[in-house]
Amino acid sequence: MRPYESVATAPGKTILFGEHSVVYDEPAIAGAVNKRAIVKIRKSRNKYTTLKSDDLGFEAILNTKRGTYVLKRGKPGIIRYILNAMGKFHDHSPIDMDLGLTLPVGSGLGSSAAVTVATIAALHDYHNVPFTRESLAEEAHKVEEDVQGIASPLDTLVSTYGGLVYLSREKRIVRFDNHLNAPFVIGFTNKYGNTGKMVRDVKSLKTRYPELVDPIIDTMGKIANEARIAILKEDIGRIADLMNLNQGFLDSLGVNTYELSRMIYAARNSGALASKITGSGGGGSIIALCRQDNVDEVAQGINRYDRTIKVKFSKDGVLVNNKPVH
């Protein structure tokens, strides 16, 4: 018998090392944050499926068989990920779905992955379909690939497993025991990033200039490996150097913007040890590594023109009805 309501939540993430290079099988490091997507599913009393999000300000009627929708209010945005997941994992019976989101959309904090993971987990629970974290991460990654054309597995892995993780070239996940007890500030702009477009743009650049771009991608992978050692040793100075180096290579791939640069240098000028893009770029967010005594000062520096969000790394991955998935 189906439960009255299935509830699944999944965390967003921040990438410390490996943006874009991870798409080409280089290692990466990312951590789950304490901001989440919340998906609630219940049987509908109507003959159609509805999707509502007060946090995002939209409401839609979905045709899950055709993969189409009628928007009643707001902008569609993230609906494509939900429709794709429903096409794969729902029996098309009428349901009502509520989406809560404490992550800024398009900010580079993995909102699409968090929504996708939470949606699939809630659907599986609603239909009493057994699943594991491993299978869920793979299914969510496939949805992101379908929607974006090409997608890194990192976002969905972190959103599923939680914690601070290292993703190897062989796609093996290694969770850090330590959670990098250093303060970070996330800065984000009103100009949202488009992950799919940024990934396609880098792919196009790589195709046109492989002899120039391939070494950049390779070096970014080496930086991630060096960072793994630095994190294990809790060598904050080395982590800072590597973050700043990583930013230089992201800039060379063309994913930086004026707004992101403004935040990066506002953070550094306010005393941050390091600052770089986190996520796909083209808008969205930066992450700044601070000293214990200057977090507020760095945040104030960024807030002169943009906005900040205070996040903590979270050990929790996907939760279904408030219980972890194994």
d(CA 117, CA 16): 21
In contact, 267 and 275? CB cutoff 8 Å = yes
Task: Check 125, 155, 201, 306 and give the catalytic one.
Answer: 155
> DSSP assignment of 184-216, as one string?
EEEEE-SS---HHHHHHHHHHHHHH-HHHHHHH
Main-chain phi, psi angles of 224, to 5 degrees:
-60, -40
Closest CA to 186 of 62, 84, 103: 103
Active site residue 155: yes
In contact, 155 and 144? CB cutoff 8 Å = yes
Helix (H) or strand (E) holding 242: helix 236-252
Q: In this structure, how many other beta carbons lie within 10 angstroms of the beta carbon of residue 210?
A: 11
Q: In this structure, how many other beta carbons lie within 10 angstroms of the beta carbon of residue 177?
A: 7
The identity of residue 8, as a single letter, is A
Closest CA to 301 of 286, 283, 282, 281: 286
> DSSP assignment of 133-174, as one string?
HHHHHHHHHHHHHHHHSS--SHHHHHHHH-SEEEE-TT--EE
Q: Which residues contact 293 (CB under 8 A, 6 or more apart)?
A: none
Instruction: Give the pair of three-digit tokens for residue 167.
Output: 């993703």
What size, in residues, is the chain?
326
Closest CA to 195 of 2, 15, 52, 72: 15
- Active centre residues (catalytic): 155
